[in-house]
Structure 1
Amino acid sequence: MHIEVTQLNKHFGDFHAVRDVSFTIEKGRLIGLLGPSGGGKTSILRMLAGLETPSSGDIVFHGKRVNDLPPQERGIGFVFQNYALFKHMTVYDNIAFGLKVKKQSKEQIRDRVMTLVELTGLKGFEHRLPHQLSGGQRQRVAFARALAPEPQLLLLDEPFAAIDAKIRQELRTWLKEMIERLGITSIFVTHDQDEAIEVADEIMIINKGRLEQKGSPWDIYKSPQTQFVASFIGESTIVSDVSKLKGFESAADREGVKALIRPEYIEIGKPHEFRIVSATEPGRIKQLHFRGSEWMVEVVVGDTTLITYRSLEKDILHPGDEVNVLVHRAYLFKDEESWIMENRLKEDPMPIHI
């Protein structure tokens, strides 16, 4: 299903929950609506589903305006955060519910349910009740029930929020593979950026009811268009006066400029670890945090604390150690304008890894 949304607004009394949001989604894409809690993500999803009525704006599915269509006529499947399974019904009957409402024959229902049981890895659990299933299995039942009527659009509201971390990781991979196999247009709401980056083909960043940016996870990470996006995606440090850092003195030419510096844009170590020592400046290790595959390091340069990573293969550093620090680049922001500034003292650009 191709989706086009134009100037969408939603008011709840005096509260303006969604503000002039416009976007298009191509058929078969998996889109993540990402942003902080209360930012308007779920309101957008519920308006697409027909569970909320827009205050203004248009929602168009395949060239047809659907603002006034009830949910059952929009060709959608909806997966709720809390599963919303019928507790007294078996797995089979939960999946079959929408098909029975559409008055399909018993043979059609059986064929469709068993296909979905196989697809979602629930074979052997058809006659169990929801309380006899794990959280991951209940969520798979919810997916299967939403898919049973063969919707053109699948909507998921925080689909992994109620599941523990290990199962959540497995379900992310499973969901992405399943949706790719089915080719169904899908939109899921999340406040977990790792989840959005891992699962989505495209991400829409929603903040205070506005669409801040839409693009692939990589594009949004490497080229944030607003200060909010840059600070929301990935770990970073906001620096109020980046001109104090070596190699960034020219930033002083623009009054009121702030900088955002990502951890992977910073190198720390002893002098022998640097090819261009003249581009570095002194720093002091404030704290180290073990992350399993690497160290996350807080380092103080002047009166600024920066965050970076350090490989476990390199010499171990300790709080209080004096080190050399090289900042390769920074995102600079002033009002609505943003740009990248490279350290003028270093020769070769540093590759970006995420």
Structure 2
Amino acid sequence: MHIEVRGLNKQFGDFHAVRDVSFDIERGKLIGLLGPSGGGKTSILRMLAGLETPSSGDIMFHGKRVNELPPQERGIGFVFQNYALFKHMTVYDNVAFGLKVKKQPKDKIRERVMALIELTGLKGFEHRYPHQLSGGQRQRVAFARALAPEPQLLLLDEPFAAIDAKIRGELRSWLKELIERVGITSIFVTHDQDEAIEVADEIMIINKGRLEQKGSPWDIYKHPQTQFVASFIGESTIVEQVDQLKGFEEAAAWPGTQALIRPEYIEIGRRHEFRIPSATAQGTVRHLHFRGSEWMVEVEVDGIKLITYRSLEKEVLQPGQDIFVLIHRAYLFNDNDNWIMENRLKEDPMPIHI
């Protein structure tokens, strides 16, 4: 299903939950609606499903306006974060429920249900009840039930929120593979960055009811278009006096400009470890945090605190140790513009506007 949304707004009394949101979703794409709690993600999802009516704007499926179309006529499957399974029904009957409502022939129902049970890895569990299943298995039943009527659009509202971290990680990979095999357009709501980046083909960042940016996880991470997106995605440090950092003195030409510096923009170590040692500044290690696969290091340079990572394969640093710091680039922003500036002491001294 191809989806077009134009000028979508939703108000609940004086509260403006969704503000002039417009986007297109290509058929077969898996889209992540990502943003802080209360940002408007679920309101958008519920309007697409027909569970909420837009205050204004248009929702179109395959070019047809569906604003007044009831949920059951939109060709949608919905997966809730709390599973919403029928406790008194077996796995088989839960998956078959939508098909029975549509009065499909029994042999067709059985063929479809057993195919989905196989597809979702639930073979052998079809006669069990929800209370006899793990959280991950219950969520798989919810997916199978949503897919049973062969919807054109699958909507998922924080589908892994009620599942523990280990199982959640396994289900992410499983969901992406499932959607690719089925080929259905899908949209899922999440506030988990890792989840969105790992699962989604494209991410839509929603904040205060507005669509901040839409694009692939890679594009959004590497080329944030707003200050909010830059600070929301990944770890970073906001620096108010970036012109005090070595190689970024030219930032003084833009009064009031701040910088966002990601950990991967920073390299630390002894002087001999750097290809361009003249571009480094002296700093001090303040704290180290073991992250399993690497060290997270807090460093201070000219009174400015920064965060970066260091490989376990390199010499272990110590708090209070003097080191050299190379800041490769910084994401600069002010009230009028945003851009990436490379360290002027490296090969490319010019700002790169995005």
- TM-score by shorter chain over 0.5: yes
Q: Secondary structure at the match of 1:32?
A: strand
Say whether the 8 Å CA contact 1:226–1:336 is kept in structure 2: no
* Structure 2 match to 1:267: 267
**1:123 counterpart = 2:120:** no
Quick one: distance in 2 between partners of 1:92 and 1:256?
Answer: 62
TM-score by length of 2: 0.97
- 1:304 Cα offset (Å): 1.1
Say whether the 8 Å CA contact 1:87–1:129 is kept in structure 2: yes
Matched residue type, 2:151: P
Say whether the 8 Å CA contact 2:342–2:348 is kept in structure 1: no
* Structure 2 match to 1:134: 134
* Structure 2 match to 1:352: none
Alignment of 1:319-330 (within 5 A): 319-330=319-330
**Matched residues, number:** 349
Q: Secondary structure at the match of 2:81?
A: coil
Quick one: distance in 2 between partners of 1:290 and 1:348?
Answer: 34
Quick one: distance in 2 between partners of 1:154 and 1:208?
Answer: 24
Quick one: distance in 2 between partners of 1:117 and 1:280?
Answer: 58
* Structure 1 match to 2:308: 308
String of CA shifts for 1:131-187, please: whole Å, max 9, x gaps: 000000000000000000000000000011111111111111111011001110000
Say whether the 8 Å CA contact 2:247–2:344 is kept in structure 1: yes
Say whether the 8 Å CA contact 1:332–1:340 is kept in structure 2: yes
Quick one: distance in 2 between partners of 1:39 and 1:288?
Answer: 34
Q: State the identity %.
A: 84
Matched residue type, 2:198: E
- 1:346 Cα offset (Å): 1.9
- 1:336 Cα offset (Å): 4.1
Q: Secondary structure at the match of 1:186?
A: strand
Give runs of ≥4 in structure 1 deviating > 6 Å.
none
**1:143 counterpart = 2:143:** yes
Quick one: distance in 2 between partners of 1:20 and 1:254?
Answer: 31
Matched residue type, 2:216: S
**1:157 counterpart = 2:149:** no
Quick one: distance in 2 between partners of 1:66 and 1:153?
Answer: 13
Q: Secondary structure at the match of 1:340?
A: strand
* Structure 2 match to 1:253: 253
Matched residue type, 1:319: P
Say whether the 8 Å CA contact 1:330–1:342 is kept in structure 2: yes
* Structure 2 match to 1:177: 177
For structure 1, the 5+ residue unaligned runs are: 350-354
- 1:348 Cα offset (Å): 7.1
Matched residue type, 2:131: H
- 1:275 Cα offset (Å): 2.1
For structure 2, the 5+ residue unaligned runs are: 350-354
* Structure 1 match to 2:39: 39
Say whether the 8 Å CA contact 1:153–1:186 is kept in structure 2: yes
* Structure 1 match to 2:200: 200
* Structure 1 match to 2:342: 342
* Structure 1 match to 2:88: 88
Quick one: distance in 2 between partners of 1:103 and 1:43?
Answer: 31
* Structure 1 match to 2:73: 73
Quick one: distance in 2 between partners of 1:319 and 1:208?
Answer: 40
Quick one: distance in 2 between partners of 1:200 and 1:270?
Answer: 39
* Structure 1 match to 2:103: 103
Say whether the 8 Å CA contact 1:205–1:229 is kept in structure 2: yes
RMSD of Structure 2 on Structure 1 (CA)? 0.9
Quick one: distance in 1 between partners of 2:96 and 2:253?
Answer: 66
- 1:347 Cα offset (Å): 3.1
Matched residue type, 2:163: I
Quick one: distance in 2 between partners of 1:207 and 1:270?
Answer: 41
